[in-house]
Copies of this chain bind each other. A is one copy, B any other.
């Protein structure tokens, strides 16, 4: 079956060059291709929402990581949501709403690998890319599994107004923790406390973070969920409680810095406090996504969890400019490009 009009054009965003520092327009190439009918066992998705994530900056570098870098000339890797518009796949029908790694383009052909059907009646597509998608999974498994958060513990999270951070803080509250967020700007801090129920927020642009942590968590921190690295990680290390867990989720302060990243000078606090610092990659939890999504969907329904999305409406060619919002700290919650 197909709803594809003849002559439909797919606008695409490809990686043209590897950036040093912030990825400017020179990094991107915009291309067009005709959209063909899918082959046997395959289907075509019209992309309506593209997820923008800090990890994308890492995929631009030509270095070994948990996934290979995006190659020069390739459509840029991105999680996205959309609607099946043509199908020769037995499990996907025209009209199905799906999420998957469709890339920064308007149309994607797929064999169904890694593709999830989603119910856009139950929650809007942006939410399926946010709390109910990889963002939510990253928060859930990072806090509960890697961080092993227990009821009554004090949780500190950086990048707290960002996609993952805003979920981490809410999950910690739901599980009976005391939650302190670190974010940039008074408005983000107000949002965390007044709208998301954080116990306290520290504005790293206006306050000494170390003093802020001491004031907001005078007995120290049991779980520090790090999205930013750099000086904030170093400040957090000075306020660990005995047996604390530092969850390494990201290091956005370092992604566009020149030269080598800055290591945490205070890492020996891990020894003094018998603490650990541990990294993870959410894909390793794929066989438990269903369990986490079901639990979070319940919390969404009963209003204890809020999915904060920052949806930018535009063309796929706005992808590069929209991505920069992440590194400027302009967004609150999950950044999504909705294809107008």
Whether, in the assembled complex, A265 has its beta carbon less than 8 Å from a beta carbon of chain B, the answer is yes
- Is A234's CB under 8 angstroms from B263's CB? yes
The copy count of this chain in the complex is 2
- Is B280's CB under 8 angstroms from A284's CB? no
For A264, the chain B residues whose CB sits under 8 A away are: 263-264, 267
Q: Considering the complex, which residues of chain A in the window 257-282 have a beta carbon less than 8 Å from any beta carbon of chain B?
A: 260-281
Q: A265-B260, A267-B264, A268-B229 are in contact. Are A278 and B281 (CB under 8 A)?
A: no
Contact of A268 among B248, B266, B275 (CB under 8 A): B248
- Is A65's CB under 8 angstroms from B248's CB? no
- Is B272's CB under 8 angstroms from A66's CB? yes
- Is B251's CB under 8 angstroms from A261's CB? no
Contact of A266 among B263, B271, B280 (CB under 8 A): B263
Whether, in the assembled complex, A64 has its beta carbon less than 8 Å from a beta carbon of chain B, the answer is yes
- Is A276's CB under 8 angstroms from B274's CB? no
For A276, the chain B residues whose CB sits under 8 A away are: 276-279
Contact of A278 among B263, B266, B268, B270 (CB under 8 A): B270
For A273, the chain B residues whose CB sits under 8 A away are: 279
For A65, the chain B residues whose CB sits under 8 A away are: 272
For A281, the chain B residues whose CB sits under 8 A away are: 271-272, 274
For A64, the chain B residues whose CB sits under 8 A away are: 272
For A272, the chain B residues whose CB sits under 8 A away are: 64-66, 279, 281
Complex CA–CA separation, A115 to B7 (angstroms) = 87
Closest B residue to A243 by beta carbon equals B284
For A269, the chain B residues whose CB sits under 8 A away are: 279
- Is A279's CB under 8 angstroms from B270's CB? yes
Q: Within the complex, what minimum Cβ distance (angstroms) separates A220 from chain B? A: 11
- Is B277's CB under 8 angstroms from A277's CB? yes
Complex CA–CA separation, A269 to B64 (angstroms) = 10
Q: Within the complex, what minimum Cβ distance (angstroms) separates A147 from chain B? A: 12
For A250, the chain B residues whose CB sits under 8 A away are: 271
For A260, the chain B residues whose CB sits under 8 A away are: 265
Q: A262-B265, A264-B263, A265-B260 are in contact. Are A275 and B274 (CB under 8 A)?
A: no
Complex CA–CA separation, A328 to B249 (angstroms) = 38
For A254, the chain B residues whose CB sits under 8 A away are: 268
For A280, the chain B residues whose CB sits under 8 A away are: 271, 274
Complex CA–CA separation, A147 to B268 (angstroms) = 16
- Is B284's CB under 8 angstroms from A279's CB? no
Complex CA–CA separation, A263 to B230 (angstroms) = 10
- Is B277's CB under 8 angstroms from A268's CB? no
Q: Considering the complex, which residues of chain A in the window 275-312 have a beta carbon less than 8 Å from any beta carbon of chain B?
A: 275-281, 284
Residue in A254, A275, A276, A281 with the greatest tally of chain B CB atoms within 10 Å: A276
- Is B275's CB under 8 angstroms from A278's CB? yes
Closest B residue to A65 by beta carbon equals B272
Closest B residue to A254 by beta carbon equals B268
Residue in A229, A234, A268, A280 with the greatest tally of chain B CB atoms within 10 Å: A268
Q: With contacts A66-B272, A263-B266, A264-B264 known, what are 9 further pairs, Cβ within 8 A?
A: A248-B267, A263-B267, A267-B267, A271-B280, A271-B281, A273-B279, A274-B279, A274-B280, A275-B278
